[in-house]
C-alpha cells in the first residue's frame, strides 16, 4: 500500500540496495565498433524494421553499425546510379548473413546529412 507524503521526503535521494562493485574481469568489454561511434555519428533508420544504425563513411564505403549492440552489420560500397537525385549517393553491399543492403543517403561532400 502506498502512502504519499504531503510535503515529500527530506532528501530526493534514497538507498534501494547495496552491492560490491564488479571486479574488472567481470565487466564486459564494449565491441570494437563502439570506439568508432560518438555522439556526432549519423544514424539511419532501416525501413520496415525501424532499427537504427550508425553510418560511418570512409573511402566511398559506409560501414553500418547496429545502434543497440554496436555490432558491424555490413560494409556497403558506393555505386553509380543513372538519373540519381541531386545530393544523394547510393551504396550497396551484403552483410555477413548474405542480406543485401541498398542505401540512398543524402550527403554534402563526404558528410552524411542528418
pLDDT tens, N- to C-terminus, the chain (114 residues): 666 665 655 556 666 778 888 899 988 887 777 788 888 888 888 888 888 999 999 999 999 998 988 888 899 999 998 888 888 999 999 988 888 989 888 989 888 886
What local confidence, expressed as pLDDT, does residue 61 receive?
Answer: 93
Task: Give the count of beta carbons closer than 10 Å to the beta carbon of residue 35.
Answer: 9
CB-based contacts of 102: which residues, under 8 Å, 6+ apart?
76, 90, 91, 92
CB-based contacts of 1: which residues, under 8 Å, 6+ apart?
none
Q: How far apart are CA 43 and CA 109, in angstroms?
A: 17
What local confidence, expressed as pLDDT, does residue 4 receive?
Answer: 63
CB-based contacts of 45: which residues, under 8 Å, 6+ apart?
51, 52, 53
Task: Give the count of beta carbons closer than 10 Å to the beta carbon of residue 50.
Answer: 7
Amino acid at each position: 500500500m502506498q502512502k504519499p507524503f504531503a510535503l515529500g521526503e527530506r532528501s530526493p535521494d534514497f538507498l534501494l540496495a547495496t552491492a560490491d562493485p564488479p571486479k574488472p574481469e567481470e565487466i564486459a568489454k564494449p565491441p570494437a565498433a563502439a570506439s568508432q561511434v560518438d555522439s556526432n555519428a549519423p544514424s539511419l533508420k532501416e525501413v520496415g524494421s525501424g532499427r537504427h544504425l550508425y553510418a560511418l563513411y570512409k573511402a566511398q564505403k559506409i560501414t553500418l553499425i547496429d545502434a543497440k549492440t554496436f555490432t558491424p552489420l555490413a560494409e556497403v560500397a558506393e555505386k553509380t546510379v543513372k538519373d540519381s537525385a541531386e545530393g544523394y549517393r547510393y551504396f550497396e553491399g551484403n552483410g555477413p548473413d548474405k542480406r543485401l543492403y541498398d542505401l540512398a543517403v543524402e550527403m554534402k561532400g563526404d558528410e552524411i546529412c542528418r
